[in-house]
Structure 1
């Protein structure tokens, strides 16, 4: 949808074009969401395999550790 609709077009056809554009973006968003989930799972597996079991980090005035 690039704004090439006629200004005298019926309202129903304009609404149909908007809905079609929404379907395309929904499908794209769904695929991106699934891909990101796969990436995060892979990163989690690699972190579990290669990182140490304990991870120290600093908090203002204290030092904490994730195990």
Structure 2
């Protein structure tokens, strides 16, 4: 994961999730690079992840909304 940039959500309620993703990465021993840009919908993030352009931290509640269990 350290080789791929981390995609951050672009809306204010996601600030806590973005901070959590940064903190978890640091606790795993690396500082994530940021993907240039943001998304406002999970579907946009899924498209980027599937194309191998970045990784995205999605809470379980997000998978329930989209009906997806895992991307990989």
Shorter-chain-normalised TM-score: which range?
under 0.3
Which entry has the higher C-alpha Rg, 1 or 2?
Answer: 1
Per the normalisation by structure 2, the TM-score is 0.26
Q: Which is richer in helix?
A: 1
Higher RCO (C-alpha 8 Å, min separation 6): 2
